[in-house]
Amino acid sequence: MLSWPLLLQTAILTLLSLGAFAANAVICRWALDSGWIDPISFTNLRLASGALMLFFVMLWLRYSPISRPANRLNPQPDTPSPASQGSWRAAIALFIYALTFSYGYVAVTTATGALLLAVIVQLTMIGYALRAGERLHSLEWLGVALALIGLLYLVYPKLSGPSWWGLLMVTLSAYTWALYTLYGRRSRAPLVDTAYNFYRTLPFVALLALVSLPWINASAVGVALALFSGAITSGLGYIVWYTVLPRLSSSLASASQLLVPLMAALAAAWLINEAITLHLVIAAALMLGGIALVLWGRQHHRKLSGSA
């Protein structure tokens, strides 16, 4: 049981990290839709600045005498852990996620992209759980059905859904992010692994930058937004999330991420005047409500079986 001060700190840090994830969607859409930067340059600067921020934080945590006693990044800080260095598979998934994330936000609104990303990630995770032999109960199947109905309602062409190019890019982005999450599920030091995964994307960033030189289109504002997205809302956002994650149950951690589309939609409406339509609200209610039902049903059955 967490004390009240620790509970309040946990709530604040959770909201800050979720706000950072939502800000990534808003910043990406803002920069690309305004024509301040091209998707490839945004992706490259985001990953490179994220890697640099994580490098400095890891360096500080390694050598700072203040942080060493409370260092949660490695469960055995005095013993080097060769396993806590990420993987090339995870790095490739991270790179594809970031690139398709940028291209997706060229074609879809912030709210639509964040909604699709959150729900498709959760559905992908459920699919892999089923493939691994887990069973869904009636409430969970009902939740999956509601989420799929909401997804179909959102993208059905007669209802002026997002472009198919944008839908494809966001779907691929969500799928690769789900893969990245699955690769890191067994990590004993997720922040360390995340840092190494960011480092491993740098060769792909350099190659992509070289190939795309003739098509680079980046203003000072676009570069600044990409750097902010990489260093602050990605780099520091992941640090805050992985700091608070051990205090959250798996179901609460998954459920809390359903707030990201709502936060992104409200921020986009405020900052870049994106409309929140009735069509989007209905789709969001079906999709997020369905996923919430899945998470609640899973937690309920775990409690009944005594495995929670």
Domain count, the chain: 1
The pLDDT value recorded for residue 46 is 97
Q: What is the pLDDT of residues 42-78, one digit of tens each?
A: 999 999 999 999 999 999 888 876 555 444 444 444 4
Percent of the chain with pLDDT over 90: 41
Could you tell me the residue range of the domain that residue 273 belongs to?
Answer: 11-68+83-305
Q: Considering the domain boundaries, does residue 5 fall inside one? A: no
How does residue 19 score in pLDDT terms, banded at 50, 70 and 90? very high
**39 found inside a domain:** yes
pLDDT of res. 72? 46
The answer to whether residue 51 sits within a structural domain is: yes
Q: In the structure encoding, which two tokens stand for residue 265, read together?
A: 């939609």
Indicate the pLDDT class of residue 103, thresholds 50, 70 and 90: very high
3-state secondary structure the chain: CCCHHHHHHHHHHHHHHHHHHHHHHHHHHHHHHCCCECHHHHHHHHHHHHHHHHHHHHHHHHHCCCCCCCCCCCCCCCCCCCCCCCCHHHHHHHHHHHHHHHHHHHHCCHHHHHHHHHHHHHHHHHHHHHHCCCCCCHHHHHHHHHHHHHHHHHHCHHHCCCCHHHHHHHHHHHHHHHHHHHHHCCCCCHHHHHHHHHHHHHHHHHHHHHHCHHHCCECHHHHHHHHHHHHHHHHHHHHHHHHHHHHCCHHHHHHHCCHHHHHHHHHHHHHCCCCCCHHHHHHHHHHHHHHHHHHHHHHHHHHHHCCC
pLDDT at 1: 54
Q: Would 73 be classed as within a structural domain?
A: no
Structural domain contains residue 234? yes
Is 298 part of a structural domain of the chain?
Answer: yes
Token representation of residue 298 = 């899973």
pLDDT at 27 over 90: yes
> Is the predicted pLDDT of residue 137 greater than 70, yes or no?
yes
- Taking only the tens place, the pLDDT of each residue in 150-190 is 888 887 755 455 678 888 999 999 999 999 988 877 778 88
Phi-psi bin for 80: left (phi > 0), alpha (psi -120 to 50), beta? beta
Question: Would residue 1 count as lying in a domain?
Answer: no
Is 221 among the domain residues? yes
Residue 88 banded pLDDT, cuts 50, 70, 90: very high
Q: Tell me the per-residue pLDDT of 225-268, one tens digit each, with 9 for 90 and over.
A: 999 999 999 999 999 998 888 887 776 777 788 889 989 999 99
